[in-house]
Structure 1
Amino acid sequence: MKNIILCLALFVSILFSTPVPVQASQFSDIPDGHWARESVDFMVKKGVLSGYSNGAFRPNEAIDRAELTVMFHKLFNKLRPNLNPSIPEMKIQKFEDVPKNHWAYQPLMEMYDADSFGVVDWHWDKVYIYPEKKVTRWDAMYFFQSFVGEQMYQMPDDQVLPILVGIDDITVQSFDSTGYSTRSPGSLAIDKIDDGEYTISYSYLDTGELIFANGDIDTLKAYALAWLVGNDIMSTWENQLEIHDPLTRAEAVVMLQRIYNVLLADGSLSTYTSK
């Protein structure tokens, strides 16, 4: 009888004790205290990450387009733009540089449609994605915009410019009806003042509405950057995005978890994933 009572007491104590968090499998190069450890553990638990055969994750290695796509494909398992594009003509049927035996063929074919500006590359009737090309921090903006652009465009207009003018390695400039442009107050772009790729031009209508130049291109860049930086998904260093630097595997994982958390907080996560 005494043994039964002891076993029952032990069972009750286990049942009502505070659960201890279970850590994901630790990669050999992601020790406790590593700045990306929490995000890496999160992604392992979600079934997004697996390391190399030697047990390493290689956090400081530059990520390529295929790897980033596969991570997003696994985490946001409801997002498949190219399977059901809003306009049938936007569906991409083939990437010239992604054969069917490519290790990331399915994610690459499902995640991008013809509207994926800055990601897919058209040469007349042929489309390229360059799966092994390394992703820069500037490139990352285009990739994330192609995935969660709908959320980005919901950012209030009055929050966009204050964020953009605080980024020193892009140029923010205003233009008037004659096309004359002047650099926006507070914009201190360092080396890309005359480079249209890293320049965002805007104006205000008589109604006070904020508009951007170059059709939808500057609008895309403006809202994407403002949303990423404003939600602390993409961090600046001494007011710079370091736009030319490669995006590392660790940075990509941290950014993906932060996007997940933002979507969770605003109630839209279930649109993107069941995880």
Structure 2
Amino acid sequence: MINKYVKKMKSAAWLLAIALIVPGPSAKAQVSFSDIDMQQKAWAVSSIYVMAEKQVLTGYTDGTFRPDKTITKAEWTQMIYKLFNTYRPNLTATGQQKINGFADVTTQHWAYQPISEIFNYSFQWGVYGVASDGQLTFQPDTELSRLELSNMLYSFFDTRLIDRRLSSNDVCSVTASLRDVPVKFFKNKDDYDAAAKADGRLDNANVQITTSNGVLPSLFMGTDAVDCSFGTDGFSNAQSSSLASLQASGIMTATADGYFRPLDKVTRAEAVTILNRIYNFLKKNYWLPDYSSISLEQANTGDQGNSAGGGGLTGSIGNGSGGYGGTTGGSGSNPTTVKVRDYFKLQGPNNDIGTLAKNVKKDGEIETAVIPLDYKYLTINLVSQDKTEMVDLSVNIDGKANLYKQESFPLTLEISGAQSVGLRTQQRNTSIINKKGGTITLTVKLDKQKPLPVDP
């Protein structure tokens, strides 16, 4: 059976697929792009501007960012090189780990330095090619698909993006849940080995392996997604481990209905968002100093996919309330400024219900937001674990803030036409130490029709 850990991680990863981040004014202070739609690209706005400010991926001379333009392997490598400025595996490699060059990346190539200093033989899958004369190639102009990038990420950062807490059964179960990534099960080893040999994957260790549809199936020993484990095919084990780990961490996720979109090309907006998530993941696990000395003060994350449910509740990134931290700008003391640092866990058939629980005494006030899109009504409820400790809520609708007493909840507000709704709790008495826990639960629900009154 899939253990509770995997269920939680799968749920968190899928919830992330519709997460949206509300952009704050200070994230845009240094740079501005004429083609960034603040609503359509809300999930990427914070990452776009913080990465542009750090010159990780800049705009064009005409003032555009071109967020939907695809990226190549060389461009991805350049971005990694700039953000993770102390990460130089091949530069420090020796002996059999050292790569002395690629046939298709000359010293005159614009990305020669980052490519030659990063990639060594520790990169196991989806990175290299082989020319007709047997020379090693990098294929720098290849437009990266989501699956290709996922496979490449298996080896990045000393494989620290791979979650070793996931058992082979866990990895199998998560991979099998992806509706557009093929998985095959085999009851006996002979059939498994024959399948691994049939498509030539065993002869192409580091080469970018492709098939007619570009997606090689992950092979497992077992009968189904509930009872399965790794076999001896390294490619299957690496591909599925990367997919499951990236899902669990929220770095690259499937849509809410289980589609990873493996053949979709990675766009510039997606790339900076993925980079931002990797940065925050390494920081959260105290590994960042091994790879970067750059400080992203406003690093924030949203999803690289499309909103699957309509309403823009800011989704959970996988660690309960708070996510990976970071803000979209503004001051917490100013109730008219939207500041996002806490993320809803989404529920309901349309993902239009969000719940967020936080110990405000211990971890600070809840600061979150909702993007209404085409919804017209927002119902809010605020409940304290300790009934004697009251917490009020500032509701900021497009810059106009009102403070509502906790006794007035639940309440429904009309938000038709609003671009964003910021929510921030305010403790009535911060001098009292709450010995009973102090957890506050904030619940929101979006509706297109005015809902019936809710009983307190």
What TM-score, normalized to structure 2?
A: 0.49
Classify the secondary structure of the residue corresponding to 2:184.
strand
Q: CA deviation at 1:267?
A: 1.7
Quick check: which one's strand share is greater?
2
Q: Which amino acid aligns with 2:283?
A: L
Q: Would you say 1:132 and 2:150 are equivalent positions?
A: no
| Larger deviation, residues 62-71 vs 21-30 | 21-30
Match of 2:280?
Answer: 261
Contact 1:69 1:107 in 2 (8 A): yes
Hey, what's the Cα distance between the residues in 2 that align with 1:213 and 1:26? 50
Give the 5 Å matches for 1:163-242: 163-180=174-191, 197-203=215-221, 210-214=229-233, 216-237=234-255, 238-242=257-261
Distance in 1, matches of 2:254 and 2:27, equals: 32
Aligned pair 1:147/2:156, yes or no?
yes
Give the Cα separation in 1 of the matches to 2:189 and 2:27: 62
Give distance in 2, aligned partners of 1:53 and 1:126.
37
In 2, are the aligned partners of 1:82 and 1:109 still within 8 Å (CA)? yes
Is residue 250 from structure 1 mapped to residue 269 from structure 2 by the alignment?
A: yes
From the superposition, tell whether residues 139 and 194 of structure 1 become closer, same or farther in structure 2 (CA, over 3 Å). Answer: closer
The alpha-carbon distance between structure 1 residues 198 and 52, as it changes in their structure 2 partners (threshold 3 A), is: same
Residue-pair matches, total: 241
Match of residue 188 from structure 1: none
Provide the rounded CA distance (Å) in 1 between the counterparts of 2:270 and 2:214: 26
Confirm or deny that 1:76 pairs with 2:81: no
Q: Distance in 2 between matches of 1:201 and 1:163?
A: 13
What CA deviation, in whole Å up to 9, does each residue of 1:11-51 have, x standing for no partner? xxxxxxxxx84534112212433321111112123331211
Q: Distance in 1 between matches of 2:26 and 2:250?
A: 26
What secondary structure does 1:270 align onto? helix
Structure number with higher relative contact order (C-alpha < 8 Å, ≥ 6 residues apart): 1
| Cα deviation digits, residues 119-143 of structure 1 (max 9, x gap) | 1113464111111121111111122
Q: Any stretches of 5+ residues in structure 1 without a counterpart? A: 1-19, 182-191
AA in 2 matched with 1:132: D
Aligned-residue offset at 1:258: 1.0
Work out whether 1:107 is the aligned partner of 2:128. no
Instruction: State how 1:52-91 maps to structure 2 within 5 Å.
Output: 52-85=60-93, 88-91=95-98
Return 5+ residue gaps in structure 2 as ranges. Answer: 1-24, 193-209, 295-456
SS at match of 2:252: coil
Q: CA RMSD in A?
A: 2.7
CA–CA separation in structure 2 for the residues paired with 1:60 and 1:252: 10
In 2: Cα distance, 1:64 partner to 1:55 partner? 21
What residue identity is the alignment partner of 1:161?
A: C
One of 93, 102, 126 as aligned partner of 1:95: 102
% identity of equivalent residues: 30
Give the structure with the higher percent helix: 1
Give the equivalent residue in structure 2 for 1:3: none
**Which moves more between the two structures, 42-51 or 125-134?**
42-51
Letter in 1 for 2:153: F
Relative to the length of structure 1, the TM-score reads 0.78
Contact 1:155/1:227 (CA < 8 Å) preserved in 2?
A: no
- The alpha carbon displacement at 1:232 in A equals 1.8
Work out whether residues 184 and 218 of structure 2, in 8 Å CA contact, stay in contact via their aligned partners in 1.
yes
